[in-house]
């Protein structure tokens, strides 16, 4: 009975405003703290597109012009093409449109994707390519993953959506025991490399413990999978196309706080960005900082705050992009240069992916380290609805971590 009730609640969330499932019924939420969540609940208005992640629109990491967008050498294949202003969900939609148009075997499926999806990422695709290629599924994550595995095993391209990353766990066995091992256990005779699973992840400020998690570390422990987290519309489109076309099952985690908050001039052509390759966003000589997804904008602000206290501070900021496989060489080369490392992510600290990075860096760069490696993460508790803003590693906590690393 409880499972039925949970599924009914989730369906209601999909068909109406998602935020209604996050807020208390009756009187507005009232607490002493002044978090944005309380402000927007009390005013009965929706939270801003960027939630509690201010400054994305003005970030130096965002490519605001045609010239800036195409200056990236990774986009050489579309350097002479057009760009179009898109937010992250529109860029993801465009990537799936290209995948469906260039691969007759490709299909998109998941809960509510035929209607455009709760975050509008599949909007218009069913009308464009037909409902036999873009279609809804029952509320069964295990079924979605299993169907995708079977479809990929028969040679088709399966683009599955798990509506929230928090609900990927019912599909865990299918993903880690079937999809990840399919090629290995058949001695290479069969594979499900054409399976890509998209899922929105991360906190937005009002999601609570069932709509805020960032579970990349669970899957990073599984040989046979690839795990990708984009930071922006340009990155999302190129990395998603690469994930769909890669010959390994891939989990593509989309920071949902960036769906509308991040807006860039995105190449309209067909392009891919490399999986397993980090990107150095800013060059530096004093400290290496590693992050991925939405956390990069927090880190950008933290660096600026730290530089006000420590004039002349030179930081190398790296977007990992791929969690599995991750770019060991780029990170370790940077740490060997700077002698210091800070890693930040939204997932809890214990066994978070920062621990894997820290361990590898200790093995490879131990004699070059000038300070203990800093890990800035969420706390080891479930995501708290009313304290989400304080649960995730914000600008202040990250700036304090920078200061600790530099003053050791």
Catalytic annotation, residues: 141, 211
Strand partners, 255: 201
* List of residues 6+ apart from 257 with CB closer than 8 A: 50, 51, 53, 202, 203, 204, 205, 294
Residue 356: CB atoms within 10 A of its CB come to: 18
Using CA atoms, how far apart are residues 362 and 370, in angstroms rounded to an integer?
12
Per the listing, tokens 């009308």 go with 127
Per the listing, tokens 């980090």 go with 278
* Helix/strand/coil for 342: strand
Task: Dihedral sign for Cα 356, 219, 169, 388, please.
Answer: positive
Nearest to 262 by CA among 243, 240, 236: 236
CA 283, distance to chain mean position in Å, is: 23
* List of residues 6+ apart from 260 with CB closer than 8 A: 49, 50, 87, 88, 89
Using CA atoms, how far apart are residues 212 and 80, in angstroms rounded to an integer?
39
Nearest to 151 by CA among 195, 184, 207, 119: 195
Per the listing, tokens 């490709």 go with 106
Residue 134: CB atoms within 10 A of its CB come to: 24
């Amino acid at each position: 009975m409880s499972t039925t009730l949970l599924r009914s609640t989730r369906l209601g969330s999909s068909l109406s405003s998602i935020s209604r499932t996050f807020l208390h019924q009756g009187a507005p939420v009232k607490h002493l703290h002044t978090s944005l969540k309380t402000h927007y609940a009390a005013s009965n208005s929706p939270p801003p597109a960027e939630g509690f992640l201010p400054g994305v629109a003005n970030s130096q990491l965002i490519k605001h012009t045609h010239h800036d967008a195409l200056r990236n050498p990774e986009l050489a294949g579309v350097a002479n093409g057009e760009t179009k202003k898109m937010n992250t969900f529109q860029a993801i939609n465009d990537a799936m449109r290209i995948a469906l148009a260039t691969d007759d075997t490709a299909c998109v499926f998941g809960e509510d994707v035929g209607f455009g999806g709760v975050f509008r990422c599949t909007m218009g695709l069913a009308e464009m390519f037909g409902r036999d290629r873009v279609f809804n599924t029952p509320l069964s994550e295990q079924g979605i993953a299993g169907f995708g595995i079977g479809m990929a095993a028969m040679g088709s391209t399966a683009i599955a959506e798990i509506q929230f990353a928090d609900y990927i766990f019912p599909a865990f066995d299918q993903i880690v025991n079937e999809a990840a091992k399919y090629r290995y256990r058949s001695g290479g005779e069969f594979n499900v490399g054409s399976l890509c699973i998209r899922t929105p992840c991360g906190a937005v400020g009002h999601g609570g413990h069932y709509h805020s998690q960032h579970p990349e570390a669970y899957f990073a422990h599984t040989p046979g999978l690839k795990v990708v987290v984009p930071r922006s519309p340009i990155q999302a489109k190129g990395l998603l196309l690469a994930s769909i076309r890669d010959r390994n099952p891939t989990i593509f985690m989309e920071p949902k706080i960036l769906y509308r908050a991040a807006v860039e001039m995105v190449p309209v052509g067909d392009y891919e960005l490399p999986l397993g390759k980090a990107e150095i966003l800013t060059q530096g000589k004093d400290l290496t900082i590693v992050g991925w997804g939405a956390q990069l904008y927090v880190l950008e602000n933290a660096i600026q705050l730290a530089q006000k206290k420590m004039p002349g501070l030179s930081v190398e900021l790296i977007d990992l992009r791929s969690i599995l496989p991750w770019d060991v060489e780029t990170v370790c080369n940077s740490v060997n240069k700077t002698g210091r490392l800070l890693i930040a992510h939204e997932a809890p600290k214990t066994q978070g992916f920062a621990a894997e990075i820290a361990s590898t860096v200790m093995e490879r760069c131990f004699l070059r380290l000038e300070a203990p490696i800093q890990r800035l993460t969420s706390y080891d508790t479930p995501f708290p609805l009313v304290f989400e803003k304080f649960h995730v590693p914000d600008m202040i906590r990250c700036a304090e971590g920078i200061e600790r690393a530099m003053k050791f």
